[in-house]
């Protein structure tokens, strides 16, 4: 994959200053040399962050306090692309990004607002690398160890940071974490082209075919089980068809399966099956329905009359109760008349006193008596219309009751007369159900025959399953993976003699199970962590990372970008002394040996880059200066960060 770094860009938080730009040469070994704490080790996290890393690993304080945006310009097969990302502040990261694309990118003086996000950049990088959108595992959904490959997974082959470049336990970028380690094991066969996008597509299709085939086979097995029972009952079916008049000839006692099958086929395809005439039954049913409707209407009227008659009787009963109550009141007030007759003057026979004169109380009693007598007369005089209405309602109730009884008699008669018709109708319905079951049974037999649709579908699915199984066969993947690893080992074996390894002639083997290398000898195989000295660890890291890039470039297209970044490869020799070229060296022999070992590293990088013919770019971030690697063809000094010059300009910190 054509993907080389052209520029690193830093935009200051203050808008009155121009951006800081570091330019690189394509197809070369680009070296940034400098002292400690100048920002060299921030380059890999900066590139990683601009390529959509989940978190910002750019060192805090000086660099992040001074910068508002970080960016890189890369050259691709589609032209130049600027990926800039905002400094996240107190967050672990931010999705705010700024993108520019074109044949030639002009760096903006400042970035005022985002025009994209990290997810969009990652999707664009996935597409640029030509990565499959399918997961390695059919059950996954884009995440997890078996999720689809992503551009972020490919960074394992791009970066060798300071804590990895000579690490005996970790061979690849971020492989010290379980999540990245397991995902790297998953994608390794993919980047080695043992698993291709076509194989992933076939693997997903195979999962679908397997599920469809299992379902269809279950359906076919169920049909066969039913068919076996049906064959055992075939003669019983034929006898029943004969009973219904669907078979006109006698059934031979020794009829074969084929003969019975043909008889049943004829029975199922009769144009005029022997179904009894139901015209009479239909007429009786029509009359019965009419009677049921009339019965319903009459019953409704009868309930209404019953309710009205009850209400009228209740009213009459209430009137009699009122009349009795008024009669009692009248009798009690009758004494008022006697008292009134005694109002003339006379001598009391007991006390011989004179009694007489008008009394207002007696007048009030006489008035009340008159009112009660009036009410009693009105209640007693029940209107004739009420009695007539009561008689009419009683007569109508009796009429409807007789009508309802007559309807019941007619219904019983119709039901009695149509019992034979109902039997005939039931028989016709039974024949229809029998024909339906017979049609379904014959259809099953057709599906189970050699030319049946379901059988043919199962055969086609099995054939497709075999074809896909050959494509995705694990044996084939393992074989291709072994051949690819052998090629990587051969590439690394050619590079090791040019490095400072103690056993340059011993073949090595890249182990995907442990994500490390084994150094093989006639006695035993030694893992990387079992091979002592930092010089050996560095040599194997450089050889394997370059060998993988040579493999990726040997049979393009490969999704892995053609770029390698090494941070502090010389640290295993003399990290302190090379940091200060003016320091005095007490042991010139030792100094010469170390410098020669470092020159071997730079020479090997340059040879591999030149052999790639423009498809590989290498960045080295190191203490070593020109006095160590000068004169090596293909090695280009980008900048030297010493005497106050750093990644972040000093004036940004004021």
Among 207, 154, 168, 188, CA closest to 1: 154
Query: What pLDDT sits at residue 586?
Result: 42
Q: What is the pLDDT of residue 191?
A: 95
Question: Domains in the chain, start-ordered, CATH in brackets?
Answer: 1-130+559-654 (3.40.50), 279-417 (1.10.287)
DSSP alpha helix (H) spans, 449-508: 453-472, 474-495
Render pLDDT for 12-38 as a digit per residue (tens, 0 to 9). 998 889 999 999 999 999 999 999 999
Q: Is the peptide bond before 570 cis (omega within 30 degrees of 0)?
A: no
Closest by CA position to 551, among listed 488, 489, 496:
488
Q: In this structure, are residues 11 and 49 in contact, taking their beta carbons and an 8 Å threshold? A: no
Task: State residue 584's pLDDT score.
Answer: 46
pLDDT in tens, 335-349: 766 666 666 555 556
Helix 384-417 crosses helix 279-333 at what angle (to 10 degrees)? Answer: 160
Tokens of 415: 């039901």
- Tokens representing residue 115 in the block: 């025009």
Strands 29-34 and 516-520: unpaired
DSSP assignment of 335-370 equals HHHHHHHT-S-EE-TTT--EE----HHHHHHHHHHH
CB burial readout 200-209, b (16+ within 10 A) else e = bbbbbbbeeb
**Rounded distance, CA 94 to CA 314, Å?**
88
455 and 219 Cβ atoms separated by less than 8 Å: no
**From CA 143, how far away is CA 150, in angstroms rounded?**
10
Sheet (strand 3-12) strand order? 20-23, 3-12, 67-76, 79-86, 96-102, 116-117
pLDDT at 612: 94
By three-state DSSP, how is residue 210 classified?
A: helix
Q: What is the H or E stretch that residue 631 is in?
A: none
Element of type H or E holding 563: strand 563-567
- The residue length of the chain stands at 654
Q: Is 625 within 8 Å of 578 (Cβ atoms)?
A: yes
Q: How far is CA 316 from CA 56, 180, 325, 565, 583, in A?
A: 99, 99, 15, 114, 134
Among the listed residues 458, 477, 481, 457, the one whose alpha carbon sits nearest the alpha carbon of residue 469: 477
* Neighbour-count burial of 368, counting CB atoms closer than 10 A to its CB (0-12 exposed, 13-18 middle, 19+ buried): middle
Q: Which of 502, 622, 500, 527 is nearest to 31 (CA)?
A: 622
Quick check: 461 and 209 in contact, CB under 8 A?
Answer: yes
Contacts of 385 (CB under 8 A, 6+ apart): none
pLDDT at site 73: 98
pTM above 0.85, yes or no: no
What is the spatial distance between Cα 32 and Cα 636, in angstroms, rounded to a whole number?
Answer: 9
- With tokens 């520019």, the residue in question is 100
Angle at 629 between CA 155 and CA 171, to 5 degrees: 30
* pLDDT per residue as tens digits for the range 488-542: 999 999 999 999 999 999 999 999 999 999 999 878 899 999 998 899 999 999 9
pLDDT, tens digit (0-9, with 9 covering 90-100), for 87-116: 999 899 999 999 999 999 999 999 999 999
| DSSP character at residue 473 | -
Beta bridge partners of 98: 84
Specify burial of residue 241 (Cβ count, 10 A radius: 0-12, 13-18, 19+). Answer: buried
pLDDT lower than 50: segments of the chain: 272-278, 450-451, 576-581, 584-590
Tens-place pLDDT, residues 608-643: 999 999 999 999 999 988 888 999 999 999 999 999
Distance between CA atoms of 59 and 647, rounded to whole angstroms? 12
């Amino acid at each position: 994959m054509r993907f080389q770094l052209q520029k690193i860009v830093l935009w200051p938080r203050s808008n009155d200053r121009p951006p800081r730009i570091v330019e690189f040469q394509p197809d070369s070994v680009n070296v940034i040399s400098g002292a400690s704490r100048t920002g060299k080790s921030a380059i890999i996290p900066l590139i990683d962050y601009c390529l959509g890393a989940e978190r910002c690993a750019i060192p805090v304080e000086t660099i992040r306090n001074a910068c508002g945006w970080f960016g890189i310009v890369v050259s691709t097969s589609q032209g130049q692309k600027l990926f800039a990302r905002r400094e996240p502040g107190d967050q672990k990261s931010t999705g705010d990004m700024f993108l520019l694309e074109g044949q030639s990118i002009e760096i903006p003086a400042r970035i005022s607002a985002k025009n994209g996000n990290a997810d969009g950049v990652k999707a664009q990088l996935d597409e640029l690398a030509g990565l499959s959108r399918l997961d390695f595992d059919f059950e996954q959904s884009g995440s997890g160890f078996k999720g689809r490959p992503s551009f972020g997974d490919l960074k394992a082959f791009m970066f060798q940071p300071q804590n990895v470049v000579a690490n005996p336990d970790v061979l690849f970028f971020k492989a010290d974490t379980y999540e990245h380690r397991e995902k790297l094991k998953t994608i390794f066969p993919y980047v080695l082209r043992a698993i291709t996008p076509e194989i992933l597509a076939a693997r997903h299709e195979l999962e679908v075919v397997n599920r469809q085939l299992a379902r269809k086979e279950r359906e076919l097995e169920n049909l066969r089980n039913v068919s076996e029972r049906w064959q055992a009952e075939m003669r019983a079916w034929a006898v029943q068809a004969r009973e219904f008049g669907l078979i006109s000839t006698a059934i031979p006692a020794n009829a074969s399966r084929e003969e019975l099958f043909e008889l049943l086929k004829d029975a199922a395809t009769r144009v005029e099956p022997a179904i009894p005439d139901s015209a009479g039954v239909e007429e009786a049913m029509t009359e019965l329905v009419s009677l049921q409707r009339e019965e319903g209407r009459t019953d409704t009227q009868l309930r209404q009359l019953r309710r009205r008659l009850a209400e009228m009787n209740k009213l009459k009963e209430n009137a009699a109760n009122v009349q009795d109550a008024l009669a009692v009141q009248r009798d009690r007030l009758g004494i008022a008349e006697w008292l009134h007759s005694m109002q003339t003057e006379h001598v009391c026979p007991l006390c011989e006193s004179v009694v007489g004169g008008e009394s207002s109380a007696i007048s009030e009693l006489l008035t009340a008596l008159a009112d009660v007598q009036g009410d009693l007369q009105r209640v007693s005089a029940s209107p004739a219309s009420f009695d007539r209405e009561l008689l009419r309602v009683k007569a109508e109730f009796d009429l409807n009751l007789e009508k309802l009884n007559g309807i019941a008699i007619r219904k019983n008669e119709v039901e009695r007369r149509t019992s034979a018709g109902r039997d005939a109708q039931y028989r016709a319905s039974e024949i229809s159900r029998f024909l339906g079951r017979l049609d379904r049974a014959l259809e099953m037999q057709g599906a189970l025959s050699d030319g049946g649709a379901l059988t043919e579908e199962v055969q086609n699915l099995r054939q497709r399953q075999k074809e896909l199984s050959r494509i995705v066969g694990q044996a084939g993947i393992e074989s291709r993976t072994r051949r690819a690893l052998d090629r990587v080992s051969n590439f690394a074996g050619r590079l090791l003699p040019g490095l400072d390894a103690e056993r340059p002639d011993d073949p090595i083997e890249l182990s995907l199970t442990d994500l490390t290398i084994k150094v093989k000898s006639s006695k035993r195989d030694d893992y990387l962590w079992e091979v002592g000295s930092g010089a050996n660890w560095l040599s194997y890291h450089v050889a394997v990372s370059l060998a993988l890039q040579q493999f990726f470039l040997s049979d393009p297209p490969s999704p892995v970008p053609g770029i390698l970044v090494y941070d502090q490869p010389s640290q295993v020799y003399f990290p302190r002394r090379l940091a200060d070229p003016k320091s005095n060296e007490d042991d010139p022999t030792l100094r010469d040996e170390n410098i020669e070992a470092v020159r071997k590293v730079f020479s090997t990088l340059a040879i591999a880059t030149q052999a790639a013919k423009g498809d590989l770019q290498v960045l080295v971030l190191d203490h070593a200066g020109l006095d160590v690697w000068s004169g090596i063809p293909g090695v280009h000094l980008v900048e030297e960060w010493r005497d106050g010059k750093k990644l972040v300009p000093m004036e940004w910190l004021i």
